[in-house]
Amino acid sequence: MPDKLDRRKKYTRMVLKDSLIQLMNEKTFSSITVKEVCVLADINRSTFYTHFTDVHDLLYSIEEEIIEEMNKYLNAFHFIVEEESIQMTEKLLVYIKERKEIFEALLENNTGTSFEKRVMDIARLFLINKTDTANIDAASYLSTFIVSGAIHVIKDWLLIDQTQSPKQMAELISQFCNKGLGSMENEKSRE
């Protein structure tokens, strides 16, 4: 919201985040020190503490950014028709793939509220909005099921093969979700 950030603040936060991301690609998160991050970012250590309390806090702010970006993609779903949703999913997957290492680090690292849980929360919210509001409980359960399924499919895709293109994955996941949503429609009509 406070997009009216001072140029200097923006820059400092950016390089610190980038440093941590780079370091996470080289070593385990728990072995990374504040000092290390600052040296790489070429930022005075005392400045670090005016922005973040510690390395976890910095990681958390990276999460924030990622989550926010994913939210944009998901929000866009509301305004598009079925055929375009596959393309949208593809964009999301490309975004994830380009940040492969960050996502892996975030999924592995369980500090505080896990990244996975937060992603599920926003995705669930999205799914509930998308379906009819009459049957919220069912939608909630089902969306948990669908989203956790999707996340693990993406996780495997990231970690293991990636022989499938983002486009192919998008179609696969889209099918997967629609089947789930479809079953809920049946559920409702049977009432």
At which residue do the structure tokens 């009509």 appear?
189
Partner in contact with 55, chosen from DNA, a copy of itself, none, beta carbon below 5 to 8 Å by kind: DNA
Instruction: Confirm or reject binding of residue 28 to DNA (CB under 7 A).
Output: no
Instruction: Confirm or reject binding of residue 141 to a copy of itself (CB under 8 A).
Output: no
Partner in contact with 152, chosen from DNA, a copy of itself, none, beta carbon below 5 to 8 Å by kind: none
Q: Which H or E run includes 163?
A: none
Report which DSSP code applies to 16.
Answer: H
Site string for a copy of itself, 31-60 (x = CB under 8 A): -----------xxx----------------
Question: Which segment (9-17, 107-115, 120-128, 135-143) binds DNA by CB under 7 A?
Answer: 9-17
Residue 9: strand, helix, or coil: helix
Min CB(186)–DNA separation in Å: 53
Here the tokens at position 155 are: 């996780």
Burial class of residue 10, CB neighbours in 10 A (0-12, 13-18, 19+): exposed
Nearest in space to 143 (alpha carbons), one of 158, 161, 126, 159? 126
Min CB(16)–DNA separation in Å: 9
The nearer residue to DNA, 39 or 80, going by C-beta atoms, is 39
Q: What separation, in Å, do the N-terminal and C-terminal C-alpha atoms of the chain show?
A: 43
* Residues near DNA, by CB under 7 A: 6-9, 11-12, 33-36, 42-47, 49-51, 53-55
